[in-house]
Amino acid sequence: MTKFDAIIIGSGVNSLTTAAILGKAGKKVLVLESRNEVGGLASTLEFVPGYKCNAIHDTLKWIDPRVMTELNLKSNGLKLIIPDIVRVALGKDNKHIAFHRDPKQTANSISHLSKKDADVWEEFISYIDKSVNFLERLYELTPPSLPNVGLFEALSMRSMLGPLLKHGSRGMVDLMRVMPMMMLELMDEWFENELLRGAIATAGIHHLSFGPFAAATGYNLLHQHLHSSSVFHNVKFVKGGTIELANVLKAVAESYNVAIETNSKVNSINTDNGICSGVTLLNGKSIKASITVSGLDPQNTFINLVGAPNLNPNFHTQLNNIRYRGSTARIHFALNSLPEINGVSADQMDTVFSIAPSIEYLEIASDAVKYGQLSKNPYVEFTIPSVINSEFAPDRKHVLSATIQYAPYHLRENHWSPELNNQLYRNVVSVLENHIPNFSSLIEFSHVLSPADLETQFGLTEGNLNHGEMTLDQFMFMRPTITTAQYKTPIKNLYLCGSGTHPGGGLHGTNGVNAAQVLLKA
């Protein structure tokens, strides 16, 4: 029987990153993917014949520079499309705000609505950038093991001296101040225009179940802006769709002799007396490895694969305390022509659009989570990926992909069903038609992915895209639990590398790099 140095469960961006780095170090690695293609949340799918979409993520917020350089992603074929306008916040009466890479151009767009806000825009960007600079260094660290922080752990945090010397202690103070803030507090300090306040606040509630009046949404705003080069709402598109990021990582991993098997669902992680020896597949085949690394979320890893009876009761309690609460849905529309957005020219369609006319609008939309209902007027963010990648739709036809908040996994006296998916569809179309006249007449087909669908199709507990809520009580040395924050687990030879670990969700690969570094020292 072949024995591997490492088995990695799942083939998302973090799993492939870990696999490639281990393979580069000469380890014998096997990646097991239950679906018929790699990619996880970076997957592209053909939702009706001739129409393709990015299943979950239309854009990359940021990629860890260590992934780009260590694995030479650009020289291995990764092509990023960098738009000048990174977002258009759609307002009433065609009065929109265009967020540019150049902050002066963004300020000019804001000035049409508020001269006062435009005058402080660059100062605000600088303020956020200082805090992000500290967070970038923090994200590269393996969280310290609390409460026993020794000299080695203290020395490992010396990289924090860089931003401290650059920005002074004031920068650290600003970070500690912004992270626990609610979006409402932050906006009250800086801006007056309602559309701008809402547009900025969307970064704070991105993929959360909370609204902008919730504490620590400031932390989520900072998380979205790492390595952004002072570009607010920074995004990059991937040529060929986000799946190409996974495909390039797969090719790099295979160049280092990593074996990747699709249609290979892991049925159990094998443990005996608290020691992991490998996995057993759904077909009954057992595979042994010196270490096993899970890119799945903690619920799937420990409860579903290790099994609750094989867990320490205290650790089991910690796992049960992890909050998931997925509240984000996706709808993909196949359109018979390019939609006309009021006040937006045809050459400005290669960007992200958001519909959040005010911060109060977002808060009211988030009330749906509290009451276990669909938001009647949800926050909608959308792209038209067929403009960026023409192969996504037939000639002169298009795809519009929308991300919706709030559509809670947990419903009161109801459950997700085709009927509820239809209600979500109608609510979203109604919001879109406020800015795209007669949008419904353009729709040929649609594909709804509710949080329940995301759980079923992508193995995401409660449909949470971050493998656990991005909150301060689930941050760094408490992510996913206080005993697993160093990518190790209480089970010997079993490790984690997924988005449930520090520093959280996104297609950035940081979790994968950090986990690989721990594994190579083990």
More confident residue, 51 or 164: 51
> Once rounded to an integer, what is the mean pLDDT over residues 463-477?
95
Residue 416 lies in a domain: yes
User: What's the mean per-residue pLDDT of the chain?
Assistant: 94
Identify the pLDDT of residue 144: 79
Confidence of residue 47 (pLDDT cuts 50, 70, 90): very high
368-395 tens-digit pLDDT: 999 999 999 999 999 999 999 999 999 9
DSSP label at residue 500: T
Residue 44 lies in a domain: yes
Asked whether 135 and 223 are in contact (CB, 8 A), the reply is: yes
Identify the pLDDT of residue 169: 63
Claim to verify: residue 126 and residue 189 sit in the same structural domain: yes
Cα–Cα distance for residue pair 60/504, rounded to 1 Å: 14
Per-residue pLDDT at 316 exceeds 90 = yes
Q: CB-based contacts of 272: which residues, under 8 Å, 6+ apart?
A: none
Identify the pLDDT of residue 268: 98
Last residue of a domain, one of 234, 249, 278: 234
DSSP label at residue 437: T
Claim to verify: residue 491 and residue 515 sit in the same structural domain: yes
DSSP label at residue 29: E
> Once rounded to an integer, what is the mean pLDDT over residues 388-409?
97
Residues 123, 127, 128, 131: what is their CA dihedral angle, to the nearest 10 degrees? 160
Claim to verify: residue 16 and residue 132 sit in the same structural domain: no
Cα–Cα distance for residue pair 486/514, rounded to 1 Å: 9
- Terminal Cα-to-Cα distance of the chain (whole angstroms): 24
Identify the pLDDT of residue 174: 82
Per-residue pLDDT at 453 exceeds 50 = yes
Confidence of residue 488 (pLDDT cuts 50, 70, 90): very high
Residue 476 lies in a domain: no
Cα–Cα distance for residue pair 234/82, rounded to 1 Å: 9
Residue 66 lies in a domain: yes
Claim to verify: residue 316 and residue 331 sit in the same structural domain: no
Last residue of a domain, one of 193, 214, 234: 234
More confident residue, 172 or 55: 55
> Once rounded to an integer, what is the mean pLDDT over residues 220-244?
97
Claim to verify: residue 264 and residue 282 sit in the same structural domain: yes
Per-residue pLDDT at 105 exceeds 70 = yes
Q: CB-based contacts of 509: which residues, under 8 Å, 6+ apart?
A: 13, 14, 17, 63, 64, 66, 67, 249
147-176 tens-digit pLDDT: 665 544 444 555 545 555 565 666 677 888
Per-residue pLDDT at 146 exceeds 80 = no
Residue 394 lies in a domain: yes
Claim to verify: residue 190 and residue 171 sit in the same structural domain: yes
Claim to verify: residue 68 and residue 90 sit in the same structural domain: no
Residue 475 lies in a domain: no
Name the residue range of residue 208's domain: 84-234
> Once rounded to an integer, what is the mean pLDDT over residues 30-35?
98
Claim to verify: residue 254 and residue 178 sit in the same structural domain: no
Per-residue pLDDT at 223 exceeds 60 = yes
Asked whether 109 and 132 are in contact (CB, 8 A), the reply is: no
CATH number of domain containing 416: 3.30.519
Last residue of a domain, one of 191, 217, 234: 234
Residue 463 lies in a domain: no
Asked whether 28 and 4 are in contact (CB, 8 A), the reply is: yes
DSSP label at residue 282: T
Q: CB-based contacts of 246: which residues, under 8 Å, 6+ apart?
A: 11, 12, 13, 16, 38, 39, 40, 42, 43
Q: CB-based contacts of 50: which residues, under 8 Å, 6+ apart?
A: 334, 393, 394, 397
Identify the pLDDT of residue 201: 98
413-447 tens-digit pLDDT: 999 999 999 999 999 999 999 999 999 999 999 99
Identify the pLDDT of residue 522: 82
Residue 467 lies in a domain: no
Q: Which residue type is seen at 119?
A: D
Cα–Cα distance for residue pair 187/212, rounded to 1 Å: 10
Claim to verify: residue 120 and residue 230 sit in the same structural domain: yes
Confidence of residue 3 (pLDDT cuts 50, 70, 90): confident
Per-residue pLDDT at 482 exceeds 70 = yes
Claim to verify: residue 362 and residue 434 sit in the same structural domain: yes
| Number of independent structural domains in the chain | 3
Report the candidate in 496, 450, 477, 499 with the shortest Cα–Cα distance to residue 56.
450
Identify the pLDDT of residue 376: 95
CATH number of domain containing 289: 3.50.50.60
Claim to verify: residue 224 and residue 88 sit in the same structural domain: yes
DSSP H helices, 332-417, are: 359-371, 385-388
Claim to verify: residue 350 and residue 399 sit in the same structural domain: yes
